């Protein structure tokens, strides 16, 4: 096949590209330039889209002996990922920009361009597995549970999965590093990227204030209604947050307070005890079914609400174009705007992605 290898500059995408070459595919490497000012993105171990990453990707492509290009997706990244991120926080929701980036950039913008240029598939270094059942692709968790990235890929459609390759889905990260070293790839020991690439110093609140300005409001005790303090904007908070609330006086019981609810219209941030964070029901909208098979009646599943953690057994049901989830065990810190990913308890230990949907409300 003609394969376009998305090369971020890290060890995973470099080894994925190497495996595509070793499998006999006609491989071309591409690095995505996602910022008009790449120097403002994170660098070193905290980055994934910087100038140094582009150089690392090019060096890996040279070692593999494949053509290499840099594609400028900065404008679309800003519109689809950064502005969506800011807008969601302004509306009192908690988005996951990596989910949005995979959906809108790597497997929409990139894949569309690849298909238009005659490529058969896009290869990435994500840790997830693909299988085919009755001609339909099935997205599954990776063999390495600690590195599993099926959560951030669960918004992909069956058509997108048909043209996706995840060569590392059956591997563990230490083994991938060993293979990279054996192949002579200089990125073998490069640290993993983490956090949000377009927030250089990692201060999300400061970044959002630079975009949204100050929007003062009250910090309110959810039980008594008492005003406990002031804040500069609901965009500085997320459900379940404990630190940085700006409350000087301790609670009556002496225990910490947590953010329980955000009301962007009134500017109110409600806080209370940890017990009030427990959620038994989730209502989600805009469902996507990677296998092409929507739920047919109440379905036992496992739901995951964060990329790393927030997992509970549940009964899911398609309702009015959305998904209703009754949790069999309560979850804490579930926020509107997060993605709920449903995994099926099938013969493969429940690693099959059934679908995903955006959390709209909890109870």
Q: pTM of this prediction? A: 0.93
The overall average pLDDT reported for the chain is 92
Average pLDDT over residues 10-35: 96
Backbone angles phi, psi at 274, to 5 degrees: -60, -30
218 CB burial (10 A radius; 0-12, 13-18, 19+): middle
Q: How confident is the model at residue 18 (pLDDT cuts 50, 70, 90)?
A: very high
pLDDT at residue 194 greater than cutoff 80 = no
What are the start-end ranges of the H helices in 79-134? 83-90, 97-101, 110-116
Q: How confident is the model at residue 41 (pLDDT cuts 50, 70, 90)?
A: low
107 touches 156 (CB < 8 A): yes
Sign of the dihedral defined by the CA atoms of residues 35, 90, 154, 261, in that order: positive
Give residue-wise pLDDT tens across range 255-311.
899 999 999 999 999 999 999 999 999 999 999 999 888 999 999 999 999 998 899
pLDDT at 198: 86
Q: How confident is the model at residue 46 (pLDDT cuts 50, 70, 90)?
A: very low
Q: Return the CA Rg of the chain.
A: 22
pLDDT at residue 347 greater than cutoff 70 = no
pLDDT at residue 123 greater than cutoff 80 = yes
pLDDT at residue 350 greater than cutoff 70 = yes
Q: How confident is the model at residue 202 (pLDDT cuts 50, 70, 90)?
A: confident
Q: How confident is the model at residue 253 (pLDDT cuts 50, 70, 90)?
A: confident
Q: Which residues does the annotation mark as catalytic?
A: 101, 197
Nearest to 146 by CA among 167, 174, 123, 124: 174
pLDDT at 45: 44
Nearest to 242 by CA among 262, 228, 260, 224: 260
């Amino acid at each position: 096949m003609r394969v376009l290898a998305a090369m971020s500059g890290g060890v995973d995408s470099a080894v994925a590209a190497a495996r595509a070459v070793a499998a006999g595919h006609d491989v071309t490497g591409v690095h995505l330039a996602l910022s008009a000012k790449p120097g403002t993105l994170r660098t070193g171990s905290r980055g994934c889209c910087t100038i140094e990453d582009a150089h690392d990707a090019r060096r890996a492509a040279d070692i593999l002996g494949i053509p290499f290009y840099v594609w400028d997706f900065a404008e679309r990244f800003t519109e689809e990922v950064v502005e969506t991120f800011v807008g969601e926080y302004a509306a009192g929701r908690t988005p996951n920009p990596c989910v949005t980036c995979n959906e809108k950039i790597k497997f929409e913008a990139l894949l569309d361009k690849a298909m238009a240029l005659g490529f058969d598939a896009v290869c990435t270094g994500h840790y997830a597995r693909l299988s085919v059942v009755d001609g339909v692709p099935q997205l599954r968790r990776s063999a390495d549970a600690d590195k599993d990235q099926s959560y951030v890929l669960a918004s992909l459609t069956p058509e997108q999965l048909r043209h996706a390759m995840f060569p590392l889905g059956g591997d563990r990260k230490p083994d991938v590093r060993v293979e990279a070293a054996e192949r002579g790839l200089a990125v073998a020991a490069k640290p993993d990227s983490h956090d949000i690439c377009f927030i250089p110093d990692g201060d999300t609140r400061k970044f959002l204030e630079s975009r949204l300005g100050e929007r003062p409001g009250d910090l309110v005790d959810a039980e008594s209604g008492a005003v406990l303090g002031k804040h500069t904007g609901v965009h500085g908070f997320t459900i379940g947050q404990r630190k940085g609330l700006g409350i000087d006086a301790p609670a009556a019981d002496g225990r910490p307070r947590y953010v329980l609810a955000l009301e962007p219209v009134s500017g109110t941030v409600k806080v209370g005890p940890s017990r009030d964070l427990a959620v038994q029901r989730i209502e989600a909208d805009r469902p996507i079914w990677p296998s092409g098979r929507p739920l047919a009646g109440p379905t036992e599943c496992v739901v995951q609400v964060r990329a790393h953690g927030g997992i509970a057994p549940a009964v899911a049901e398609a309702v009015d174009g959305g998904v209703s989830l009754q949790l069999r065990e309560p979850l804490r810190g579930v926020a509107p705007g997060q993605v709920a990913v449903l995994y099926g308890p099938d013969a493969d230990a429940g690693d099959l992605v059934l679908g995903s949907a955006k959390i709209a409300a909890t109870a």
